[in-house]
Amino acid sequence: MHPPENGKNHRARRNFLGQALTAAGAAIAAPSLLSQATSAQSEKPASIPGQGEISVTLSINDKQETLAIEPRVTLLDTLRERLGLTGSKKGCDHGQCGACTVLVDGQRVYSCLALAVMQEGKQIVTVEGLAKGDVLHPVQAAFIENDGFQCGYCTPGQICASVALVDEVKRGCASAVTEDFDNLPQLTNLSEAEIKERLSGNLCRCSAYNGIVAAVQQVTGQAPPSPAAAMFMQEAGVSA
């Protein structure tokens, strides 16, 4: 009975020695491998696109931003997640609410539906880029003065859309409610119906529409009624 036991003990010692040597080898090799991996990672430039990414340079608020992004990434996610420009809000993410509205070459754009890689070479302006230092854009100031917001979630999109509205009227753009294409509305006589139609793609769940319309009227040089007066007239059944 002794020989089998000696064989068993011999095999157990071999297994133990093999495991010990393997562990020792791993302990010796691990720091070297970790150092090589760390060195390789540090040598890789951050600007080199990874798998599935491409390099794109965007002009945003008068600054050039070079990014490595996937072609499927939207402009909204690029602004918010990669550049920290969180003024543009993600509401419906389907182009239905307008909370993500930004300006691209002066045109209002739903950034949740626009691919970032397709904006290269264009001038992008977000709500953060409207003010000049501490001086607010006239539309921003008018929203404050006319209570054009409540919770504020949709406000950046509303402001960008209103800036575009003013520029569109200056360029002689018609809307769905423009009655005479030979006599297009001017800023000074832009009707409330025109303003509402031109901003109909931007929803306000707080229903601060009276203040929004009044803000646009102020920017266009009109003398709008106060939001409280407009609400009183509406409740009284008096049309503007």
Residue 35 pLDDT greater than 70, yes or no: no
Q: CA-to-CA distance for 233 and 239, rounded, in angstroms?
A: 7
pLDDT category of residue 74 using cuts at 50, 70 and 90: very high
For the chain, give the secondary structure using H, E and C.
Answer: CHHHHHHHHHHHHHHHHHHHHHHHHHHHHHHHHHHHHHHHHHHCCCCCCCCCCEEEEEEECCEEEEEEECCCCEHHHHHHHHCCCCCCCCCCCCCCCCCCEEEECCEEEECCCCEHHHHCCCEEECHHHCCECCECCHHHHHHHHCCCCCCCCCHHHHHHHHHHHHHHHHCCCCCCCCCCCCCCCCHHHCCHHHHHHHCCCCCCCCCCHHHHHHHHHHHCCCCCCCHHHHHHHHHCCCCC
pLDDT at 7: 56
Q: CA-to-CA distance for 202 and 164, rounded, in angstroms?
A: 12
Residue scoring higher pLDDT (223 or 200): 200
Pairing of strands 107-110, 63-69: unpaired
Q: CA-to-CA distance for 20 and 63, rounded, in angstroms?
A: 59
pLDDT in tens, 136-187: 999 999 999 999 999 999 999 999 999 999 999 999 999 999 999 999 999 9
Dihedrals φ, ψ of 225, to 5°?
Answer: -70, 155
Question: Quick check: 91 and 147 in contact, CB under 8 A?
Answer: no
pLDDT in tens, 83-105: 999 999 999 999 999 999 999 99
Q: How many CA atoms lie within 13 A of 82 on its CB side?
A: 18
Residue 9 pLDDT greater than 50, yes or no: yes
Question: Quick check: 199 and 158 in contact, CB under 8 A?
Answer: yes
pLDDT at 184: 95
Place of tokens 């010796």: 28
What's this model's pTM, rounded to 2 decimal places?
0.74
Contacts within 8 Å (CB) and 24+ apart, 67-71: 67/116, 69/116, 69/117, 71/115, 71/117
